[in-house]
A and B are shown apart, each in its own frame.
Chain A
Amino acid sequence: MEDRNNEEWVRALGGVPDSGVLAALRETLLRGLRYALKQRYHVTESDLEDFVQDALVRVLDNLDTFRGESKFTTWAQKIAVRVAFSELRRKRWENISLQDLVPDDTSEDDSSGASPLSWMPSSELTPEHQITQHSLGALLQDLIREELTDLQRQAMTAIALKGMPLEEVARRMGTNRNALYKLLHDARQRLKQRLEAHGVTVDDVMAAFSPEP
Protein backbone atom coordinates (compact mmCIF):
# COMPACT_ATOMS: atom_id res chain seq x y z
CA MET A 1 0.00 0.00 0.00
CA GLU A 2 2.94 2.29 0.63
CA ASP A 3 3.83 2.34 -3.07
CA ARG A 4 0.66 4.20 -3.96
CA ASN A 5 1.53 7.66 -5.21
CA ASN A 6 -0.25 10.84 -4.18
CA GLU A 7 -2.50 10.98 -7.23
CA GLU A 8 -3.60 7.40 -6.67
CA TRP A 9 -4.48 8.09 -3.03
CA VAL A 10 -6.49 11.19 -3.89
CA ARG A 11 -8.26 9.53 -6.81
CA ALA A 12 -9.22 6.48 -4.74
CA LEU A 13 -10.49 8.53 -1.80
CA GLY A 14 -12.34 11.25 -3.75
CA GLY A 15 -16.09 10.95 -4.43
CA VAL A 16 -17.20 7.61 -3.04
CA PRO A 17 -14.04 6.37 -1.33
CA ASP A 18 -12.64 2.99 -2.31
CA SER A 19 -13.20 0.90 0.81
CA GLY A 20 -9.98 -1.05 0.39
CA VAL A 21 -7.90 2.13 0.10
CA LEU A 22 -9.73 3.66 3.04
CA ALA A 23 -8.95 0.57 5.12
CA ALA A 24 -5.29 0.80 4.10
CA LEU A 25 -5.15 4.44 5.15
CA ARG A 26 -6.88 3.65 8.43
CA GLU A 27 -4.28 0.96 9.18
CA THR A 28 -1.40 3.28 8.29
CA LEU A 29 -2.68 6.08 10.53
CA LEU A 30 -3.41 3.68 13.36
CA ARG A 31 0.08 2.21 13.29
CA GLY A 32 1.67 5.64 13.20
CA LEU A 33 -0.42 7.04 16.07
CA ARG A 34 0.04 3.92 18.17
CA TYR A 35 3.79 4.17 17.82
CA ALA A 36 3.89 7.91 18.42
CA LEU A 37 1.58 8.08 21.41
CA LYS A 38 1.59 4.85 23.36
CA GLN A 39 4.91 5.25 25.10
CA ARG A 40 4.38 8.81 26.28
CA TYR A 41 0.65 9.24 26.70
CA HIS A 42 -2.04 7.24 28.40
CA VAL A 43 -4.07 6.03 25.44
CA THR A 44 -6.01 2.85 24.89
CA GLU A 45 -6.45 0.99 21.63
CA SER A 46 -10.05 2.18 21.61
CA ASP A 47 -8.90 5.82 21.96
CA LEU A 48 -6.56 5.33 19.02
CA GLU A 49 -9.34 3.90 16.88
CA ASP A 50 -11.58 6.85 17.74
CA PHE A 51 -8.82 9.32 16.84
CA VAL A 52 -8.23 7.61 13.52
CA GLN A 53 -11.93 7.49 12.73
CA ASP A 54 -12.22 11.25 13.31
CA ALA A 55 -9.04 11.84 11.35
CA LEU A 56 -10.34 9.89 8.35
CA VAL A 57 -13.47 12.03 8.24
CA ARG A 58 -11.33 15.12 8.31
CA VAL A 59 -8.95 13.81 5.65
CA LEU A 60 -11.86 13.09 3.30
CA ASP A 61 -13.46 16.47 4.02
CA ASN A 62 -10.20 18.28 3.27
CA LEU A 63 -8.97 16.21 0.35
CA ASP A 64 -9.17 19.21 -1.98
CA THR A 65 -6.75 21.17 0.23
CA PHE A 66 -3.96 18.59 -0.18
CA ARG A 67 -1.34 20.31 -2.32
CA GLY A 68 1.00 17.39 -2.80
CA GLU A 69 3.99 19.07 -1.17
CA SER A 70 4.57 15.99 0.97
CA LYS A 71 3.55 12.37 0.67
CA PHE A 72 -0.18 11.92 1.05
CA THR A 73 0.30 9.64 4.06
CA THR A 74 2.46 12.27 5.79
CA TRP A 75 -0.25 14.86 5.27
CA ALA A 76 -2.94 12.48 6.56
CA GLN A 77 -0.79 11.48 9.54
CA LYS A 78 -0.37 15.15 10.43
CA ILE A 79 -4.15 15.45 10.60
CA ALA A 80 -4.42 12.32 12.74
CA VAL A 81 -1.82 13.67 15.17
CA ARG A 82 -3.69 16.97 15.45
CA VAL A 83 -6.99 15.18 16.12
CA ALA A 84 -5.37 12.97 18.76
CA PHE A 85 -3.64 15.78 20.62
CA SER A 86 -6.73 17.99 20.59
CA GLU A 87 -8.72 15.21 22.20
CA LEU A 88 -6.00 14.25 24.70
CA ARG A 89 -5.64 17.86 25.79
CA ARG A 90 -9.38 18.38 26.04
CA LYS A 91 -9.74 15.34 28.28
CA ARG A 92 -6.73 16.15 30.41
CA TRP A 93 -7.92 19.68 31.19
CA GLU A 94 -11.70 19.29 31.01
CA ASN A 95 -12.35 19.96 34.70
CA ILE A 96 -10.04 22.93 35.07
CA SER A 97 -11.32 26.42 34.51
CA LEU A 98 -9.17 29.37 33.61
CA GLN A 99 -10.36 31.12 36.75
CA ASP A 100 -9.08 28.22 38.90
CA LEU A 101 -5.74 28.39 37.18
CA VAL A 102 -5.28 32.12 36.93
CA PRO A 103 -7.23 33.92 39.62
CA ASP A 104 -7.58 37.66 39.20
CA ASP A 105 -4.48 39.08 40.79
CA THR A 106 -4.09 42.57 39.56
CA SER A 107 -3.66 43.82 43.13
CA GLU A 108 -0.30 45.24 44.05
CA ASP A 109 0.03 43.19 47.19
CA ASP A 110 1.54 39.91 46.23
CA SER A 111 3.73 39.36 49.24
CA SER A 112 1.89 36.18 50.19
CA GLY A 113 3.43 34.38 47.24
CA ALA A 114 0.01 32.95 46.41
CA SER A 115 -0.15 34.42 42.93
CA PRO A 116 1.03 32.41 39.94
CA LEU A 117 3.03 35.47 39.02
CA SER A 118 5.24 35.23 42.07
CA TRP A 119 8.28 33.04 42.06
CA MET A 120 10.95 31.83 44.38
CA PRO A 121 14.58 31.78 43.41
CA SER A 122 16.22 28.40 43.34
CA SER A 123 17.63 27.61 46.76
CA GLU A 124 20.61 25.80 45.29
CA LEU A 125 22.13 29.02 44.03
CA THR A 126 24.61 31.37 45.58
CA PRO A 127 23.05 34.35 47.38
CA GLU A 128 24.13 36.64 44.51
CA HIS A 129 22.33 34.52 41.93
CA GLN A 130 19.28 34.26 44.15
CA ILE A 131 19.13 38.03 44.35
CA THR A 132 19.50 38.41 40.57
CA GLN A 133 16.79 35.85 39.90
CA HIS A 134 14.56 37.54 42.41
CA SER A 135 15.09 40.98 40.84
CA LEU A 136 14.45 39.72 37.31
CA GLY A 137 11.38 37.86 38.48
CA ALA A 138 10.03 40.92 40.26
CA LEU A 139 10.66 43.11 37.20
CA LEU A 140 8.93 40.69 34.86
CA GLN A 141 6.05 40.37 37.27
CA ASP A 142 5.62 44.16 37.32
CA LEU A 143 5.82 44.38 33.53
CA ILE A 144 3.26 41.62 33.04
CA ARG A 145 0.88 43.48 35.34
CA GLU A 146 1.48 46.94 33.95
CA GLU A 147 2.15 46.44 30.25
CA LEU A 148 -0.14 43.60 29.21
CA THR A 149 -3.88 43.58 28.71
CA ASP A 150 -5.90 41.40 31.08
CA LEU A 151 -6.36 38.86 28.31
CA GLN A 152 -2.64 38.75 27.52
CA ARG A 153 -1.71 38.45 31.19
CA GLN A 154 -4.23 35.69 31.79
CA ALA A 155 -3.21 33.72 28.69
CA MET A 156 0.51 34.07 29.31
CA THR A 157 0.17 32.98 32.91
CA ALA A 158 -2.02 29.98 32.07
CA ILE A 159 0.22 28.78 29.25
CA ALA A 160 3.78 29.68 30.23
CA LEU A 161 3.50 29.30 33.98
CA LYS A 162 0.66 26.87 34.49
CA GLY A 163 1.18 24.65 31.48
CA MET A 164 -2.34 24.75 30.05
CA PRO A 165 -2.17 24.05 26.30
CA LEU A 166 -2.74 26.94 23.93
CA GLU A 167 -5.90 25.52 22.39
CA GLU A 168 -7.45 24.80 25.80
CA VAL A 169 -6.88 28.39 26.90
CA ALA A 170 -8.24 29.55 23.53
CA ARG A 171 -11.39 27.47 23.93
CA ARG A 172 -12.03 28.98 27.37
CA MET A 173 -11.48 32.48 26.03
CA GLY A 174 -13.84 31.95 23.12
CA THR A 175 -11.08 32.33 20.53
CA ASN A 176 -8.89 29.94 18.55
CA ARG A 177 -5.35 28.71 18.87
CA ASN A 178 -3.99 30.77 16.00
CA ALA A 179 -5.48 34.04 17.27
CA LEU A 180 -4.27 33.34 20.79
CA TYR A 181 -0.75 32.68 19.54
CA LYS A 182 -0.78 36.08 17.86
CA LEU A 183 -2.06 37.72 21.04
CA LEU A 184 0.79 36.12 22.98
CA HIS A 185 3.26 37.13 20.32
CA ASP A 186 2.22 40.76 20.79
CA ALA A 187 2.59 40.31 24.55
CA ARG A 188 6.10 38.83 24.21
CA GLN A 189 7.14 41.65 21.90
CA ARG A 190 5.90 44.21 24.37
CA LEU A 191 7.69 42.56 27.29
CA LYS A 192 10.89 42.23 25.27
CA GLN A 193 10.87 45.96 24.48
CA ARG A 194 10.22 46.87 28.10
CA LEU A 195 12.87 44.52 29.48
CA GLU A 196 15.38 45.95 27.02
CA ALA A 197 14.36 49.46 28.05
CA HIS A 198 15.25 48.44 31.60
CA GLY A 199 18.66 47.38 30.35
CA VAL A 200 18.04 43.64 30.73
CA THR A 201 19.71 41.48 28.09
CA VAL A 202 19.31 37.85 27.21
CA ASP A 203 22.82 37.30 28.54
CA ASP A 204 21.77 38.66 31.94
CA VAL A 205 18.89 36.22 32.02
CA MET A 206 21.00 33.26 30.98
CA ALA A 207 23.70 34.17 33.48
CA ALA A 208 21.16 34.45 36.27
CA PHE A 209 19.43 31.19 35.51
CA SER A 210 22.28 29.05 34.24
CA PRO A 211 25.13 30.05 36.55
CA GLU A 212 28.60 28.63 36.19
CA PRO A 213 29.14 25.78 38.64
Chain B
Amino acid sequence: MSTEPEKLRNLMRSIFMTHRDEIGCDTCFDQMDLFAELTLAGKDVASAMPHVYRHLQMCKACREEFEALLSALKLL
Protein backbone atom coordinates (compact mmCIF):
# COMPACT_ATOMS: atom_id res chain seq x y z
CA MET B 1 0.00 0.00 0.00
CA SER B 2 1.52 3.28 -1.04
CA THR B 3 0.82 6.73 0.24
CA GLU B 4 -0.93 9.05 -2.15
CA PRO B 5 0.84 12.17 -3.39
CA GLU B 6 -1.72 14.35 -1.63
CA LYS B 7 -0.70 13.01 1.78
CA LEU B 8 2.95 13.48 0.93
CA ARG B 9 2.25 17.05 -0.16
CA ASN B 10 0.33 17.78 3.05
CA LEU B 11 3.08 16.30 5.18
CA MET B 12 5.72 18.30 3.30
CA ARG B 13 3.66 21.44 3.70
CA SER B 14 3.21 20.89 7.43
CA ILE B 15 6.97 20.37 7.77
CA PHE B 16 7.73 23.65 6.02
CA MET B 17 5.04 25.50 8.00
CA THR B 18 6.64 24.43 11.28
CA HIS B 19 7.46 27.29 13.65
CA ARG B 20 9.87 27.16 16.52
CA ASP B 21 7.26 28.30 19.03
CA GLU B 22 4.04 26.39 18.54
CA ILE B 23 1.49 25.93 21.29
CA GLY B 24 0.25 22.45 22.17
CA CYS B 25 -3.29 21.08 22.06
CA ASP B 26 -3.95 21.95 25.71
CA THR B 27 -3.25 25.65 25.26
CA CYS B 28 -5.23 25.66 22.04
CA PHE B 29 -8.21 24.09 23.80
CA ASP B 30 -7.89 26.55 26.63
CA GLN B 31 -8.30 29.49 24.24
CA MET B 32 -10.59 27.94 21.66
CA ASP B 33 -13.84 29.40 23.06
CA LEU B 34 -12.54 32.96 22.84
CA PHE B 35 -11.01 32.28 19.42
CA ALA B 36 -14.35 30.92 18.17
CA GLU B 37 -16.27 33.97 19.38
CA LEU B 38 -13.77 36.34 17.75
CA THR B 39 -14.00 34.35 14.53
CA LEU B 40 -17.79 34.57 14.52
CA ALA B 41 -17.55 38.30 15.22
CA GLY B 42 -15.48 38.65 12.03
CA LYS B 43 -12.29 39.70 13.83
CA ASP B 44 -8.84 39.19 12.38
CA VAL B 45 -8.04 36.16 14.50
CA ALA B 46 -4.76 35.43 12.70
CA SER B 47 -3.42 38.70 14.12
CA ALA B 48 -5.30 38.68 17.41
CA MET B 49 -4.45 35.10 18.41
CA PRO B 50 -1.68 33.95 16.06
CA HIS B 51 -0.61 30.96 18.13
CA VAL B 52 -4.07 29.45 18.18
CA TYR B 53 -4.53 30.27 14.50
CA ARG B 54 -1.30 28.47 13.63
CA HIS B 55 -2.02 25.50 15.83
CA LEU B 56 -5.36 25.02 14.08
CA GLN B 57 -3.59 25.00 10.74
CA MET B 58 -1.22 22.30 11.91
CA CYS B 59 -3.44 20.08 14.07
CA LYS B 60 -6.26 18.24 12.35
CA ALA B 61 -7.80 17.02 15.61
CA CYS B 62 -8.09 20.53 17.06
CA ARG B 63 -9.27 21.90 13.71
CA GLU B 64 -12.11 19.38 13.53
CA GLU B 65 -13.22 20.34 17.01
CA PHE B 66 -12.96 24.04 16.26
CA GLU B 67 -15.08 23.69 13.12
CA ALA B 68 -17.70 21.72 15.02
CA LEU B 69 -17.71 24.34 17.78
CA LEU B 70 -18.19 27.13 15.26
CA SER B 71 -21.02 25.25 13.69
CA ALA B 72 -22.70 24.64 17.06
CA LEU B 73 -22.30 28.29 18.06
CA LYS B 74 -23.98 29.52 14.91
CA LEU B 75 -27.12 27.91 16.22
CA LEU B 76 -26.91 29.35 19.73
Q: Which A residues are within 8 Å of any B CB, using their own CB?
A: 2, 28, 31-33, 35-37, 69-71, 73-75, 77-78, 80-82, 84-85, 89, 113-114, 116-122, 133, 136-137, 140, 156, 159-161, 165-167, 177-179, 181-182, 185, 188-189, 191-192, 195, 202, 205-206, 209-210
Report A-chain residues with C-beta under 8 Å of the C-beta of B11: 140, 156, 160-161
Would A32 and B72 count as touching, CB distance under 8 A? yes
* Residue from B6, B9, B76 within 8 A of A28 (CB atoms): B76
Q: Once the chains are docked, how many angstroms separate the CA of A185 from the CA of B61? A: 15
**A81 and B65 contacting across the interface, CB-CB below 8 Å:** yes
Whether A78 touches B33, Cβ cut-off 8 Å, given contacts A113-B2, A121-B5, A182-B24, is yes
1/0 per residue B27-48: CB within 8 Å of A? 0010111101100000000000
* Minimum Cβ distance to chain B for residue A30 (Å): 10
Q: Report if A78-B29 is in contact (Cβ < 8 Å); known contacts: A140-B12, A160-B10.
A: yes
Contacts A81-B68, A189-B18 hold; do A205 and B12 have CB atoms under 8 A apart? yes
Kindly list chain B residues whose C-beta atoms are within 8 Å of the C-beta of A32.
Answer: 72-73, 75-76
Distance A133 CA – B25 CA, assembled complex (angstroms): 32
Instruction: State whether B24 touches A69 (Cβ < 8 A).
Output: no
CB-CB nearest 9 A-B residue pairs: A32-B72, A70-B33, A209-B9, A202-B16, A36-B72, A188-B18, A36-B71, A119-B3, A36-B68
CB atoms of B9 and A69 under 8 A apart? no
A85, B72: Cβ atoms closer than 8 Å: no
* Residue numbers in B under 8 Å from A167 (CB-CB): 61
Residue of B nearest to A70 (CB): B33
In the complex, which residues of chain A have a beta carbon less than 8 angstroms from the beta carbon of B71? 35-36
Instruction: Please classify the interface of chain A as helix (H, G, I), strand (E, B), loop, or mixed, using the class held by over half of its residues.
Output: helix
Q: A77 contacts B73, CB within 8 Å?
A: yes
Task: Tally B residues with Cβ within 8 Å of A.
Answer: 42
Q: Is the CB of B75 within 8 A of A31?
A: yes
Which of B2, B15, B22, B76 contacts A77 (CB under 8 A)?
Answer: B76
Which of B1, B16, B22, B26 has the most CB atoms of chain A within a 10 A radius of its CB? B16
- Taking CB as reference atom, which chain B residue is nearest A77? B72
B64 cross-chain contacts in A, Cβ below 8 A: 85
Give the distance in Å from the alpha carbon of A188 to the alpha carbon of B22 in the complex. 11
Q: How far is the CA of A75 from the CA of B26 in the complex (A)?
A: 14
With most chain A CB atoms within 10 A of its CB, the pick from B1, B2, B68, B73 is: B68
Contacts of B24 in A (CB 8 A): 178-179, 181-182
